[in-house]
Structure 1
Amino acid sequence: MCRCFAADLDWDAIANQFGVDKDDADPAELPQPSYNITPKQGIGIVAQGRDGKRHLASAYWSLIPTWSTNKELTYPTYNARIESACDKPTFAASAKSMRAIIPASGYYEFHGRKPYYFHAPNDATLYLAGLFSWWRDGRSPWLLTATILTCPAVDGPATVHDRMPVLVPHDFTYAWLDRSVDGASLIPDMQIDGAELSCKLAFHEVAAFNASDDGRKLIRPLRRTHTPSLF
């Protein structure tokens, strides 16, 4: 499960890493740095268009399938289980050929009410596996929407929560974004390789925070105050 993450990124560098055309990625239109990104906010995603080119754009974090008549669904779609994404009507078309990568500085998981921050040991950018879809209600412009794929947690992450976001290995990004490849053929390997990456993540407990809080202070390791004993 991933319902909050951090993204304090150099979008120009991300565009270069994925071969995005400089004229197609306007940093001014991408989300500002934040350490408290939650569903239904704007997030940056990398995806391949029908033109075969890779694009970096801002998307609404909660996937809305093209066939939906309403922007507000009766169930949450900010996450999608990778085990069933190819079969669920909400995500099937996207899992087949509309896959995305969501760059992140790190993400949070909650053990009860205690938040933990997960990040690469060297603070390298994480590539979260995602799906995207275009939606409109007939009156407004097309809206790009996205979801983050999750899988069963393993190793260290499993001590905090039973789910975790799927990480895309750097050498898997080309295949993952390729719209000519059916997602069903990629998912088994993605689960294995992504789990191996997740086992290498660093994580620590952080102080509880509110929806309006932001900034690097949110990811500082929690310092517990111990009451001195008299004996």
Structure 2
Amino acid sequence: MCRCFAADVDWSAVAKQFGVESNENVDSSGNSGTDAASLPRPSYNVRPGQTITVVAQSRDGRRHLSGARWSLVPSWSAGPALTYPTYNARIESAAVKPTFAESTRSMRAIIPASGYYEYHGRRPFYFHAPDDGPLAMAGLFSWWRSPQSTKQQPMSWMLTATILTCPAVDGPATVHDRMPVLVPSDMTGVWLDRSTDGSSLLAGLTSNGTELSRRLAFHEVAPFAPMDDGRRIIRPLAQAEAPTLF
């Protein structure tokens, strides 16, 4: 599972990497919405329910960089809060689970991250690329709109997202039995293409993404609280506990 990650990323570089024409959000019909200023601020402690950044493609083929609520809400949900967690989706069952099936078919995303945390018991470990470049985590998105509207609170669309996970392998498996699915650069196009049924992509993505995960670097970090933030929380445990004179 992945219930906490770090995102201190150059969004302009991410936009260029993924062929985003401009740092604009989109509304439910694929039209331009709020600008890049609405993207979340850098954080080393991103948690479910907070705003994350997704790279997604609209039906006209344009790619967008947009803020989304981290916990997917399917379009048919009566309310924004479900009785079960939806910040992660198992890639093995995403295509058949009612909550994620529609998104798997045609609403897939990439969630850029600096790194992510997994827990071995109560001990947190930080996973990141060896060169500290951004990770491309596989995600699903969904648009949800409240069925109720008033003059004071008109109906508005909310973009929500989840991170796909798969069984952990090699080094990651020594910490936890699940890990986020990573999207290889040569699968970006087909993964974001809304005209492709994602159900046919899951096996290949798992296999190729697993190879990327085998190469990740990781280290134990000191336990941190939900309100803690900053680069200090990703320091290796030995450094975090080292005494200082001043």
Q: Who is 2:22 aligned against? A: 22
CA RMSD of aligned residues (A): 1.3
Taking the TM superposition and a 5 Å limit, the aligned residue runs for 1:26-65 are: 26-65=35-74
Cα-to-partner distance string for 1:176-203 (whole Å, 9 max, x where unaligned):
0001111111111100001110000000
Q: Who is 2:179 aligned against? A: 164
In the TM superposition, what is the alpha-carbon distance from 1:23 to its structure 2 partner? 5.7
Q: Which runs of 5+ in 1 are unaligned?
A: 227-231
Residue pair 2:53, 2:66 contacting (<8 A) in 1 also: yes
Q: Which runs of 5+ in 2 are unaligned?
A: 26-34, 150-154
Picking from 84, 91, 98, the partner of 1:82 is 91
TM-score normalised by L of structure 2: 0.89
| Count of residue correspondences | 226
Residue pair 2:90, 2:164 contacting (<8 A) in 1 also: yes
Picking from 181, 186, 192, the partner of 2:201 is 186
CA–CA separation in structure 2 for the residues paired with 1:154 and 1:23: 35
Picking from 103, 119, 131, the partner of 1:122 is 131
CA–CA separation in structure 1 for the residues paired with 2:192 and 2:104: 11
After TM superposition, the structure 1 stretch with the greater mean CA deviation from structure 2, 157-166 or 23-32, is 23-32
CA shift in 2, pair 1:23/1:105, >3 Å: closer
**SS of the residue 2:99 aligns to:** coil
Amino acid corresponding to residue 22 of structure 2 in structure 1: K
Q: Who is 1:2 aligned against? A: 2
Amino acid corresponding to residue 162 of structure 1 in structure 2: D
Amino acid corresponding to residue 93 of structure 2 in structure 1: S
CA–CA separation in structure 1 for the residues paired with 2:198 and 2:36: 29
Picking from 104, 110, 122, the partner of 1:95 is 104
Show structure 1 runs of 4+ deviating over 4 A.
Answer: none
CA–CA separation in structure 1 for the residues paired with 2:102 and 2:136: 21
Amino acid corresponding to residue 69 of structure 1 in structure 2: A
Q: Does 1:175 align with 2:209?
A: no
In the TM superposition, what is the alpha-carbon distance from 1:170 to its structure 2 partner? 1.1
CA–CA separation in structure 2 for the residues paired with 1:58 and 1:210: 24
Q: Does 1:12 align with 2:8?
A: no
Identity %: 67
Q: Does 1:205 align with 2:220?
A: yes
Q: Who is 2:31 aligned against? A: none
Residue pair 1:31, 1:58 contacting (<8 A) in 2 also: yes
In the TM superposition, what is the alpha-carbon distance from 1:216 to its structure 2 partner? 0.1
